[in-house]
Amino acid sequence: GAVVSQHPSRVICKSGTSVKIECRSLDFQATTMFWYRQFPKQSLMLMATSNEGSKATYEQGVEKDKFLINHASLTLSTLTVTSAHPEDSSFYICSARDRGGGGYEQYFGPGTRLTVT
Amino acid sequence: AQSVTQPDIHITVSEGASLELRCNYSYGATPYLFWYVQSPGQGLQLLLKYFSGDTLVQGIKGFEAEFKRSQSSFNLRKPSVHWSDAAEYFCAVGRRAGGTSYGKLTFGQGTILTVHP
């Protein structure tokens, strides 16, 4: 149980285009999902907290208009990188908190490798 | 603000040897504490967690960790390391407070474990 998927696993896009990454909780409902960014050989940095049916809460320094987050249902959150640039190339990981599991534990997706050329 | 420090960036041990990975945290109250493991290019897998109660917690794959409030530490241990344990290990502290950021995790810098045969 408690499986989180991400799609796509890898994506290459051209500078200036937009890319959408999906995060799904497969066997549980997630009122809250989190989006992280991880640079090579570095730790995970929280980008934003996504709550179902409401606006995402962004961490300081994260551009809201560049990283659009939509949490349309209890099992799906999307991250759209708009007008992507090479510096946006990174490993993006989502996590989901189980609505019915006490609410403390996060389950992580396998990550999405974004390369902007 | 919560923070996590993993003092060791890289640790090398021989297969069969014991292991201890250090983690120190800063948090204004009793924290939620987690250890995750990440293989290259993959998401995070939860090894163990501490919420309350017994300060020695057992996890998967033979790992254990001990919460020491007086030292603000949550060190991860394994009595005998296997070659398959080679990976990167992250300690994280979780926010207990309410609001939209409830459950927000702050990660340490990570410790890369290399296992020699």
B84 lies within 8 A of chain A by CB: no
B106 lies within 8 A of chain A by CB: yes
Substitution target from A60, A106, A107, A114 for chain B, most B beta carbons within 10 A: A106
More confident: B105 or A65: A65
| CA of residue A24 relative to chain centroid, distance | 10
Q: Which of A13-27, A51-65, B101-115 has the highest mean pLDDT?
A: A13-27
Question: What's the average model confidence in pLDDT over A83-110?
Answer: 85
Q: Which helix (H) or strand (E) holds A74?
A: none
Among chain B residues, the shortest Cα distance to A98 is held by: B103
Lowest-confidence segment of B4-13, B48-57, B64-73 by average pLDDT? B48-57
Dig out the tokens for B70 from the structure. Answer: 């007086």
SS3 call for B83: helix
Which residues in chain B are closer than 8 Å to A35, comparing Cβ atoms? none
Question: What's the average model confidence in pLDDT over A101-107?
Answer: 70
Question: Measured between alpha carbons, how far is B24 from A58 in angstroms, rounded to an integer?
Answer: 26
Sheet containing A76-81: order of strands: A4-7, A19-25, A76-81, A67-73
